[in-house]
Amino acid sequence: MAKTLKQEFTKGLWKDLPPFRLVLGLCPVLGVTTTMENGLGMGVATTFVLCGSNLLVSLLRQAIPPRVRIACFVIIIAAFVTVVELLMQAYTYPLYLKLGVFIPLIVVNCIVLGRAEAFAYKNKVSSSVADALGIGIGFTLSLSLLGSLRELLGNGSLTIWGDLSYSIIDVVPSFQPFTFATQAPGAFVCLGLMLCIINLIGK
Amino acid sequence: MLESILVTFSIGAVSGVALSYASKLFYVYEDPLIAKVEGLLAGANCGGCGFAGCSAAAEAIVNDKAPANACILIDEENIREIAAITGAHAGPPEPPSSYNNCSGGKRATDRFIYSGIWSCTAAAALYGGNRDCAIGCLGFGDCIRACRFNAIKMGGHGFPVVDYDKCVGCGACEASCPKTILEVKTLSQRLFHLSSAGDPLAPCSQGCPAEIDIPRYIDHIRNMRYEEALDTIREKNPMPLSCGRVCPHPCESLCRRGIADEPVSINQLKRFVADYEMNSGRRLPIACSPATGKRIAIIGGGPAGISCAYFLRRAGHHPEIFEAMPKLGGMLRYGIPEYRLPKKILDWEIQGILKLGIESHTNVRLGLDFDFCSLVAAGFDAVFFSVGAWKDYNLGIPGEELSGCMTGINFLSRVGGSKPPAIGKRAAVIGGGNTAIDCCRTLIRMGLDKVYLVYRRTRKEMPANEAEIVAAEHEGIEFVFLAAPNKIIADEEKQVAGLEYLAMELGKPDASGRHRPVPIEGSEQILAVDTVITAIGQSPLLSFRGRGNRLDDLNISRWNTFEVEPSTCQTNVPYIFAAGDAATGPALVVDAIGGGRKAARSIDLFLRGEEVNPQEDALLNKPIGESIFPSVPGVRPMGRIGLDEIDVTNRIQTFAEVDLTISERDALAESNRCLSCCRLCYNVDTH
Amino acid sequence: MNELVRMTVVLTGLATIAGGVLAAVHSGTADRIAAQQLEYVKGPAIRSIMAATTNNPLEDSFQLSIGEEEKTVFIGSLASGGTAVAFEEFGRGFGGDIGVMVGINMETETILGTAVTVHSETPGLGAKAKNDRSFTSQFEGLPVSATVAVTQDGGQIDAISGATTTSRAVCEAIAQALERYQMLHADLQKTVN
Amino acid sequence: MGYLELIVSCIFVNNILLAQFLGNCPFLGTSKKMETAVGMAGAVVFVTVLAGTITWIIYHQILVKFDLVYLRTFSFILIIATLVQFVEMFLKKMIPVLYAGLGIFLPLITTNCAVLGICVINIDEEFTFSEAVSASLFYAVGFGLALILFAGIRERILLARVPKALQGTSIALITAGFISLTFFAFRGMV
């Protein structure tokens, strides 16, 4: 059963790729992926919390009594989320404003709690961190992908980070932005179609 | 800083105290299994499983309402652990595995054209599915999608095929199937399952007293997977070598091909794979469940005893066989002559079964060499009686005590043992059953000049197997029908000198449908013979009773057999079970083997502390009405393979086996004659 | 019982430690967060008003107490050598308060510029109030003594078509700012110099 | 803002599930069966109102007073988790009938981002106490409404012919997208 660190890391990138293979943590996926930048930021924030909580849960796994483990995980995760909130306010304030309520909600993201419980509580520190990094990076990539798709369709542009942005209209002047994609119903439909595509590739 | 610490401290303290006291104050008893399963679930309460949180999911899993892999967060290791927990809940701690019941698949006819969503569940919601067969596979593969281990694939015939190496027995497939095509069962659940009215059974399987899945093993043979064929047989019958030789194959008379053509030589195919193993020079491994530590005393090492011991051993128990004769095998050894079942083949077969870890004690007779009370004292948890029917009925005519007159079983067992009896030159065997024929055919091989078979009715009424009668005729046995022995005539040395009998005529049929013979006054005739063997039936020898122990409490029927509940083989003393001839009176070997398995099922239930109830819907060899067809369209008669046997003039010189094993080519050809029937569907002949 | 105590202790301990850590992180980032909030919430509005200042108004700001309220006043040095102040006032709009940053040239006593900071108006209309130059430019150069009101209310400001309430709210906020400027004129003058 | 506006806004325009994307995991999980959906909806209403009220009080009476607003997330989630677990145990022991109908869904709510989300929104929107309580109620009702509507549709999807790759969560999400689109019609009412 022992897997190498590399395996623990790479499984998050395809085999257990959230949210497509591991259909969890959908709220931020739907809520923040209006642009690629948002998706990327959310992904990084989640990865940070995931790594921190996995690390700490794995370190403390002997000390935490099984019956209150969920409450303990929640405390650890909540602490990390607050740290992220504070750091984001201090360094990436505009992004913090855009992500809004979804930053505190990382605390109830099933992926974070799920990995703490299903993996970190049972595995040693190095593999837990590898697992968290893999899942986190997978999540970040998925969010960015969905974000860029929706941004391209809906705004006709793609903002990588800050001022670095490209516009489709420069290339294809006749392009009409499909605003539906950036709005709420579009979020569901785009994610549903992405899932479908992943299913097709997975087959 | 301080405020912050104070606030978090107080929130933490309030939560901790509130929760810990609440858990004490509002404690409600919960099945510890649920807590155990919940401990293995992700605990994220994400709701991805469709249940209201992890504890609700755990409860559903324990109560078999959800498969072990319901949680979408946890990894395979946890699923395995959960499967192990719930598996232990359902039966003994042995790995359950998925098992496909339907072999119909695509060939089953449709009642209507279904063009809905590609899902069994959806299809089944519409009038139970589009297939004609109420129990068959719908073939949309819900189970394949449900399996998280890639252990199920859709076979070419339109039904799921399980890869047993990958299956962990999580139960997801079973839960996803709207029918009961895939059943996740432990080994012992499979071994002990009695054919039931809801099973997809071919007519032949319904007719087999051992309930072997005949179409499945024939299919294995067709695909040259002989080892799997043997495994399939051994799931229900531990003695394919012996049965392949001596079984009168009631299955073949139900064979669906037999309606339009000659039936498939099912028994020859069984013998072929059994011989294949023996000649291959190695024994196939036989899977056994983990040890349970329970001990069972098996009294009598005949087919019923061996079968019961075998199944109990495979279920993880520890049976010990006590046998009065010098070797195990019972009637197989001492009642069936060498030319039908060579002793070295029987030895090889029994040895293989004992190798599973069954202890045997021979030359020990209950009541003489050991006492029933000592068994209980020795810590046996249950006792199984398979003492057979070794007591010949007496004719009740003068002269039976003469030298040169003996009983059939006595004669056969002495020939089969090490001390053959002294016999003369001309013999008369009285009786029309298999024992009588066996005596005749044995006598002719012992070099006698003339062997008569004296039977009081006609050939049509003879209970012996047709094939045996024909063989006896070929071998020159003279049949004297409608003859009732009157007395045995002695010479001056108190030796048998002849058999006087009355000629009979058939009267009106009696309750059993047989014509009752009526003696004709003054028709006495004498057969000049120096040996008379009476073989008119047997009953169990119960001499171990009457010693003032629990055995005296046993109910005994008026045929001197153990009175048992027929579907459980349990006697009125709960820990005593009985099967085989001892419970049924003289019957087929395969009946004894089936009885041994039925008894093993009950003993297993008894040892696990469960109620020994008959299995619901058990068929017990009653046919399923809808599966017995009056005609079978689509079958092109082609005749069965001829049977190789030794030429008559040669064979009566020796005890060499008469019937020879069929060749692989013939076996393959014959297996292709099988229609692979299920309950309703079958493969028609296409060429 | 032992189990219960342990559960409570672990929970409380973890929560306490977390509290300590968070307090530390908070005190470490508090200043930066405040600066960032200023930069991104008020920053764009201030910049649009005081585009031509030689200093950074965001850094040269001070707190002014008006009764119970604390107001942040931004100071900009104009190229002409004069000084401008800017602060935020609120007017009641359709969907809630509308924040308007008002910049005043202290030399000429005229409105330097206005910019909408926060609004929760129907998308489109609120944005118009923010970006529509033909609307916002009407305020520029008005003397602090002027009465700021939409034409419907007898004033000289043309409302955004179809968004009278929003326009009214903006005017209300600006009028309030002018009033407050005149009230605090002395204090401001003192602090600036 | 008037209460009528608040109701329409919370239930329809800013529907917590379909416009704010909160609580999607249980939304997809528990909408497979109508029965489960109804139970879940009830439990969410109950817990949200309770949690919304308590967190509002804690925030304004403790966190704001001591200048500890940055502990908002931390304290809210702990309070909700404790509260939910406590109520669950209480119901299980004291009112088993209610537990069977509603209580079993409670654990699912601990990590339901809709509940925490509504508590946070109450603070962000600077609602007064009575506004916060009613907003909690109406947001939760909106969640229940969407969930029950969706469950009804999903029971139908089972019998529909869906391309293989779209089956499961994929088609569920697209369907949710169309429900969301219908809720769009309420835009402009507030």
pLDDT tens digit sequence for B310-324: 999 998 899 999 999
CATH 3.40.50.2000 at B394-510+524-536, yes or no:
no
Band of pLDDT at residue A184, cut at 50, 70 and 90: confident
Residue C8 reports pLDDT greater than 80:
yes
Residue C30 or residue C121, greater confidence: C30
pLDDT tens digit sequence for B420-479: 888 888 999 999 988 899 999 999 888 888 999 999 888 888 888 888 898 889 888 999
Tell me what the mean pLDDT of segment D150-164 comes to. 80
What pLDDT, on a 0 to 100 scale, did the predictor assign at position B144? 86
Cβ neighbours of residue B665 under 8 Å, at least 6 residues apart?
A: none
3-state secondary structure of B661: coil
pLDDT tens digit sequence for B385-427: 999 998 888 888 888 888 888 888 889 888 887 778 888 889 9
Q: C41 CB near a chain B CB, below 8 Å?
A: no
Residue B624 or residue B42, greater confidence: B624
* Residue A112 covered by a domain: yes
Any idea which of A74-88, B42-56, B317-331, B599-613 has the lowest mean pLDDT? B42-56
Selected residue of B2, B9, B14, B24 to mutate for chain C interface (largest C Cβ count, 10 A): B9
What pLDDT, on a 0 to 100 scale, did the predictor assign at position A37? 86
Facing C18 at nearest CB: one of D70, D74, D188: D74
Ligand-binding annotation for B167, yes or no, is yes
Residue C189 reports pLDDT greater than 80:
no
What pLDDT, on a 0 to 100 scale, did the predictor assign at position B577? 94
Count Cα atoms within 13 angstroms, Cβ side, for B198. 9
Contact between D105 and B53 using a beta-carbon 8 Å cutoff: yes
Task: Look at chain A and report how many structural domains it folds into.
Answer: 1
Q: Above pLDDT 90, what percent of chain A?
A: 20
Q: Above pLDDT 70, what percent of chain B?
A: 93
The whole-angstrom separation of Cα C187 and Cα C185 is 6
Q: Which chain D positions have a beta carbon within 8 Å of B54's beta carbon? A: 107
Contact between A79 and C3 using a beta-carbon 8 Å cutoff: no
Selected residue of C22, C32, C37, C118 to mutate for chain D interface (largest D Cβ count, 10 A): C22
What pLDDT, on a 0 to 100 scale, did the predictor assign at position B91? 35
Tell me what the mean pLDDT of segment B206-230 comes to. 90
What pLDDT, on a 0 to 100 scale, did the predictor assign at position B73? 67
Write down which chains contact chain C via at least 3 CB pairs under 8 A. Answer: A, B, D
CATH code: domain B203-284+623-671 is 1.10.1060.10
Any idea which of A112-116, B545-549, C127-131, D78-82 has the lowest mean pLDDT? C127-131
What pLDDT, on a 0 to 100 scale, did the predictor assign at position B430? 92
Q: What is the mean pLDDT of chain B?
A: 84
What pLDDT, on a 0 to 100 scale, did the predictor assign at position D146? 92
Ligand-binding annotation for B173, yes or no, is yes
Report the CATH superfamily, name and number, of domain B33-90: Electron transport complex subunit B, putative Fe-S cluster (1.10.15.40)
Residue of chain D whose Cα is closest to the Cα of C97? D1
Contact between B73 and A22 using a beta-carbon 8 Å cutoff: yes
Tell me what the mean pLDDT of segment B2-19 comes to. 83
What pLDDT, on a 0 to 100 scale, did the predictor assign at position A25? 75
Facing B8 at nearest CB: one of C8, C15, C27: C15
3-state secondary structure of B565: coil
pLDDT tens digit sequence for B158-182: 788 888 777 777 777 888 888 877 7
Q: What is the mean pLDDT of chain A?
A: 84
Q: D133 CB near a chain A CB, below 8 Å?
A: no
**Looking at chain D from residue 29 to 48, which residues have their Cβ under 8 Å from any Cβ of chain A?**
none
Helix, strand, coil share (%) of chain A residues, nearest 5:
75, 5, 25
Band of pLDDT at residue C145, cut at 50, 70 and 90: confident
pLDDT tens digit sequence for B530-585: 899 999 888 898 888 887 788 888 899 888 899 999 889 999 999 999 999 999 88
Residue C53 reports pLDDT greater than 80:
no
Cβ neighbours of residue D59 under 8 Å, at least 6 residues apart?
A: D69, D72, D76, D123
Tell me what the mean pLDDT of segment C144-172 comes to. 80
Tell me what the mean pLDDT of segment B199-203 comes to. 86
The whole-angstrom separation of Cα B388 and Cα B386 is 5
CB C121 within 8 A of CB C163: yes
What pLDDT, on a 0 to 100 scale, did the predictor assign at position B93? 41
Residue C37 reports pLDDT greater than 70:
yes
What DSSP string describes chain C? -HHHHHHHHHHHHHHHHHHHHHHHHHHHHHHHHHHHHIIIIIHHHHHHHSTT-SS-TTTSEEEEEETTEEEEEEEEE-TTS-EEEEEEEEEE-SSSEEEEEEEEETTTTEEEEEEE----SPTTHHHHHHH-HHHHGGGTT-BTTS---BGGGTSSBPPPTT-HHHHHHHHHHHHHHHHHHHHHHHHHHHHH-
Task: Classify domain B298-390+550-607 at the CATH topology level.
Answer: FAD/NAD(P)-binding domain (3.50.50)
Encode B152-175: b = buried (16+ Cβ within 10 Å), e = exposed.
bebbebbbbebeeeebbbbbbbbb
Query: Which residue ranges make up each domain of chain B?
Result: 33-90, 97-185, 203-284+623-671, 298-390+550-607, 394-510+524-536
Q: Rounded to a whole number, what is the distance in Å from the CA of B19 to chain D's nearest CA? A: 6
* Residue A165 covered by a domain: no
Tell me what the mean pLDDT of segment B68-82 comes to. 71
The whole-angstrom separation of Cα C184 and Cα C187 is 5
pLDDT tens digit sequence for C12-24: 888 888 888 888 8
Which domain, by its residues, includes A21?
Answer: 5-143
Residue B104 or residue B249, greater confidence: B249
What pLDDT, on a 0 to 100 scale, did the predictor assign at position B47? 64
CATH 3.20.20.70 at B97-185, yes or no:
no
Nearest to A16 by CA among B76, B10, C118: B76
Write down which chains contact chain D via at least 3 CB pairs under 8 A. Answer: A, B, C
Ligand-binding annotation for B247, yes or no, is no
* Residue A9 covered by a domain: yes
CB A29 within 8 A of CB A22: no
Contact between D173 and A200 using a beta-carbon 8 Å cutoff: no
Residue B49 reports pLDDT greater than 60:
yes
Residue A187 reports pLDDT greater than 60:
yes
Q: Rounded to a whole number, what is the distance in Å from the CA of B45 to chain A's nearest CA? A: 8
CB B201 within 8 A of CB B681: no
What pLDDT, on a 0 to 100 scale, did the predictor assign at position B204? 92
Contact between C18 and D78 using a beta-carbon 8 Å cutoff: no
Band of pLDDT at residue B597, cut at 50, 70 and 90: very high
Query: Which residue ranges make up each domain of chain D?
Result: 3-179
Facing D68 at nearest CB: one of B7, B27, B119: B7
Tell me what the mean pLDDT of segment A80-97 comes to. 88
Contact between A105 and D28 using a beta-carbon 8 Å cutoff: no
pLDDT tens digit sequence for D78-135: 888 888 888 888 888 888 887 777 777 777 776 678 888 899 888 888 788 988 999 9
What pLDDT, on a 0 to 100 scale, did the predictor assign at position C95? 59
CB D39 within 8 A of CB D97: no
Q: Which chain C positions have a beta carbon within 8 Å of B23's beta carbon? A: 4
Ligand-binding annotation for B147, yes or no, is yes
Write down which chains contact chain A via at least 3 CB pairs under 8 A. Answer: B, C, D
What pLDDT, on a 0 to 100 scale, did the predictor assign at position B316? 86
Whole-complex ipTM: 0.72
Ligand-binding annotation for B678, yes or no, is no
- Give bridge partners of residue B480 from the DSSP assignment: B454
**Looking at chain A from residue 57 to 76, which residues have their Cβ under 8 Å from any Cβ of chain C?**
63-65, 67-68, 71-72, 75-76
Q: What is the mean pLDDT of chain C?
A: 78
What pLDDT, on a 0 to 100 scale, did the predictor assign at position D55? 92
pLDDT tens digit sequence for B113-150: 887 778 888 888 887 788 878 778 888 888 888 887 78
Ligand-binding annotation for B440, yes or no, is no
